[in-house]
Structure 1
Amino acid sequence: MPILKLNRVLHLVAALAVLTCASAKAQAQDWPTRPVTMVVPFAAGGPMDTLARILQHGLSETLGQQVIVENMPGGGGLVGSLRVAQAAVDSHMFVLASIGTHAIGYSMHSKPPYHPANDFQPVAFVADAPLMLMTKKDLPPNDLKEFIAYTRANQGKMSFASGGSGTSSHVSCVMLNQIIGVDVTHVPYRGGGPAFQDVIAGRIDYICNYISIGAAAVKSGQVKALATLARERTSLLPDLPTADEQGLKDFDVSAWNAILLPKSATPAMVAKLNAAVNKALDNPALRERFDAIGLIAAGPDRRSPEYLRRFINAEVEKWAGPVKAGGLQLD
C-alpha cells in the first residue's frame, strides 16, 4: 500500500477512535439515556424486593427515565450482583445490595466471584434493616428463653430457613444457634419471601428475617415473634424485646442495603445516581413508607460514595471472623 494512502487510513482510524471516545464520554455525561434496571439479586416478594419497589418511583422521577426492577435470585444474591459488577458502561443497570451480597458472602468463598467494593462503583447507603427471630405459630416456645430450652432438646428434628446461603437471614440464625449451642438443619431458599412462606405454612420451624417482611404476619398471628435481633427494639413491633434484653448479652444483628453501579461506571454516573438516591431518601413520604416496614433510612452523613466504600470494606472485615469460625465456607 502506498505510504500516502496508508497515512490516510491511519488518520481515519485515529479520527474514528477519537469520535468513539467522545461519544462514549457524552453518553456517560447524559446518563441515563434509556430505562434503567435495578437488579434485585433475590426473589420477588422478599424484603429487598419490597424496598426496591419503594425506591423505584422516586428514582425514576429524579433520573428522568423509568427504573425497572429485575429480580435475579441465585447463589445467595451473588448471581445478580456479579452481573452488575461485570456490566458495560452503557448497560444502564445498578444493584440493590445487601449485607449478604456485599459483606458476608465474600468470606464464604475461597475464590469470591467479586470484591464487594473494588469490583463496583459504590453509590449510596440506603437503609438499615433490623432482623427478628420468628417461628411457626404452633411451635411451643413463646419467648427466647423457652425457645432456647426447646431447641436444645429437639435440635435433631428441627429446621430453620433462610433466603439463601450467606445471606443475613442465614448467618444471623447460625450465630444464634452457635451462641445457644445447637446444631439445626439449614434449609436455604431462593429469597426471603419463599423461605418465610414455608415458615407460615408450618413446614419450617424458624427463621431469622427482616422485621419488614414479618411484622404483618406476626400481628395477624400467622407466626410467632420471639426476639428482635438488633440492639434496640423496633418501632414497628415496640413490645417485642431484644435478644440482649432476654439474656443474650450484646447480641446485635442488623442487615443493611445500599446501591452500587458496575465497576465500569463513570464518576458522572455515580454522582447522578447518588443525587437521585439522596433526593428520594429526603422525601418524607418515602421515609414514612420505610418506617411502616421497619427500615431505618440512612442519614445524609451516610449517603456518600466514599462513606459506602469505607463501610463495605469494614463490614467485610467484621463478618470474616464469624463466617470462618462457624465453618460457613461453601468451597
Structure 2
Amino acid sequence: MMRASIKPVLILLASIMMYPGFAHAFPDKPIHIIVPFAPGGVTDLVSRIVAQGMSDELSQDIIVENKPGASGSLGTNYVAKSKPDGHTLLMGNISTLAINAATFKNLGYDPKLSFSPVAMIAKQPLLIGIKKDLDINSVEALIELAKKDPGKLNYGAPGSSNQLATEAFSQATSIKMNHVPYGGSGPALIDLAAGHIDVMIETFSSIYPFVQQEKIKGLAVTSAERSNLAPHLPTLKELGFPDVEVTSWQGIVAPAGTPEDVIEKLNRAVIKSLSSQNIETQLTSKGLQPSPSSPEEFKHYIAEEEKRWVNLAQEIGLDPK
C-alpha cells in the first residue's frame, strides 16, 4: 500500500524536474574561455585578468585555455562548433573576429553568424616604432625617408592585423615599405631592437616596454587620443592622418544559439568585473582601456570592423590565403 502511494509522487516529482523552469541554473559547471593564441600575448593576458573577476561574480571556476594556430582560427573554430550553453567562450580580438575574414579564404566560421556576442572587454592603440639607429625622430621624417627611396624600409608584421594596419598607414601617407612576416610579436620586436628590420606597428602593451628601455624609438600612437602611459607620443590624427585610427581590441563571444538569458548573465558578469578597481588598474597599467559594452553594441562593432578591414584588403590588393 505504501509502495503504491509513493509511485505517483515520484512520477510527479520527475515530471516537475523535467520542466524547463527547474533546469540547472547557469553556470552549473566550470566555464572555459578559449584563447586562440599562445600564452603570454595580449589576448591571453586580458583573458586571465578578466576571468578572475567573472569567476567571482558567477561563483564558478573559469578556466583559461590556449588553443593557438592558424592566426587564431583553430581555437575560434573550436568555440564556433562547441555546445551553445555558455560554458565554452572565446576571447576574440581584432584578428579573429574581423581581419581574418579579409585575409583567409576558408575560415571555417563567420565572425557575424557563428557567434553570439557577449561584451567588449578592452581596447588599446598600436604604436609606430622604428629601430633606434634610424636617424629620424618623427612620423614626418619617416614618411620623408620612405618617399626618398621607395621599398627600401622593411617593416615587421607578426600577424594579419599588424600587416593591414601598416598597409593602411602606408596607403594614407603614400609610401611603400617591404613586408617581413613573423610568426609572433616577440621575434619581430627582438629583430627591431637589434636593427634587423626598420619599422613595426605593434600593440602598445607589447612594444612600449622596448621604447621605455630605449631599445626602440616610439614615434606615434594610432588611437584617437594620446595614451596616458605615453602622453609625449602624438596621435596620427594630430599629425593629419585621421583615416589611420586603428585600435586593437578584445571581447568575449559565445557559440551562436546560446540562450539570451545566459548571454545577459555573462554580460553582467563582464561589466561588474570591469568595474572593479583592481581589474581596471591591471588593464590600464598595460596600456589597455576597459571598454565594456552590451551584446548588441559589440555585435555592431564586430560587423563594422569586419567591413572596414575587408574593404581595405581589397583596396590594397591583398589576396586571401
User: Which runs of structure 2 are paired with 1:200-279 in the superposition (5 Å)?
Assistant: 200-279=193-272
Partner of 2:26: 30
Q: State the one-letter code of the partner of 1:60.
A: S
Partner of 1:305: 295
User: Which runs of structure 2 are paired with 1:9-158 in the superposition (5 Å)?
Assistant: 26=23, 29-34=25-30, 36-89=31-84, 92-158=87-153
Q: State the one-letter code of the partner of 1:210.
A: T
Q: 1: distance between equivalents of 2:275 and 2:78?
A: 29
Q: Is the 8 A contact 1:136 1:202 kept in 2?
A: yes
Q: 1: distance between equivalents of 2:192 and 2:49?
A: 25
Q: Is the 8 A contact 1:229 1:252 kept in 2?
A: yes
TM-score, normalization: structure 2? 0.85
Q: Is the 8 A contact 1:73 1:80 kept in 2?
A: yes
Q: Larger deviation: 271-280 or 245-254?
A: 245-254
Q: Is the 8 A contact 1:76 1:163 kept in 2?
A: no
Partner of 2:11: none
Q: Is the 8 A contact 1:81 1:97 kept in 2?
A: yes
Deviations 1:189-223 (A, max 9, x none): 34434433332343332211111222222111121
Q: Quick one: which of 315, 318, 321 aligns to 1:325?
A: 315
Q: Is the 8 A contact 1:46 1:191 kept in 2?
A: no
Cα distance change of structure 1 residues 330 and 55 upon mapping to structure 2, 3 Å threshold: same
Q: State the one-letter code of the partner of 2:289.
A: I
Deviations 1:218-238 (A, max 9, x none): 111121111111222111100
Deviations 1:283-325 (A, max 9, x none): 12211222222222125xxx21121112211222222221210
Q: State the one-letter code of the partner of 1:65.
A: Q
How far did residue 135 of structure 1 move? 1.7
Partner of 1:3: none
Instruction: Describe the SS at the equivalent of 1:31.
Output: coil
Query: Please, which runs of 5 or more residues in structure 2 have no aligned partner?
Result: 1-14
Q: 2: distance between equivalents of 1:237 and 1:204?
A: 23
Cα distance change of structure 1 residues 66 and 248 upon mapping to structure 2, 3 Å threshold: same
How far did residue 266 of structure 1 move? 2.5
How far did residue 160 of structure 1 move? 1.9
Number of residue equivalences = 306
How far did residue 180 of structure 1 move? 2.8
Q: Is the 8 A contact 2:86 2:263 kept in 1?
A: no
Deviations 1:133-157 (A, max 9, x none): 0122223321111211223345545
Q: Is the 8 A contact 1:107 1:319 kept in 2?
A: yes
Q: State the one-letter code of the partner of 1:115.
A: D
Q: Is the 8 A contact 2:98 2:111 kept in 1?
A: yes
Cα distance change of structure 1 residues 148 and 121 upon mapping to structure 2, 3 Å threshold: same
Q: Larger deviation: 66-75 or 118-127?
A: 66-75
Q: 2: distance between equivalents of 1:20 and 1:148?
A: 69
Q: 1: distance between equivalents of 2:224 and 2:26?
A: 43
How far did residue 118 of structure 1 move? 1.4
Q: 2: distance between equivalents of 1:149 and 1:214?
A: 23
Q: 2: distance between equivalents of 1:229 and 1:135?
A: 15
TM-score, normalization: structure 1? 0.83
Query: Please, which runs of 5 or more residues in structure 1 have no aligned partner?
Result: 1-17
Q: Is the 8 A contact 2:114 2:256 kept in 1?
A: yes
Q: Larger deviation: 60-69 or 151-160?
A: 151-160
Instruction: Describe the SS at the equivalent of 1:133.
Output: strand
Q: Is the 8 A contact 2:123 2:288 kept in 1?
A: yes
Q: Is the 8 A contact 1:32 1:63 kept in 2?
A: no
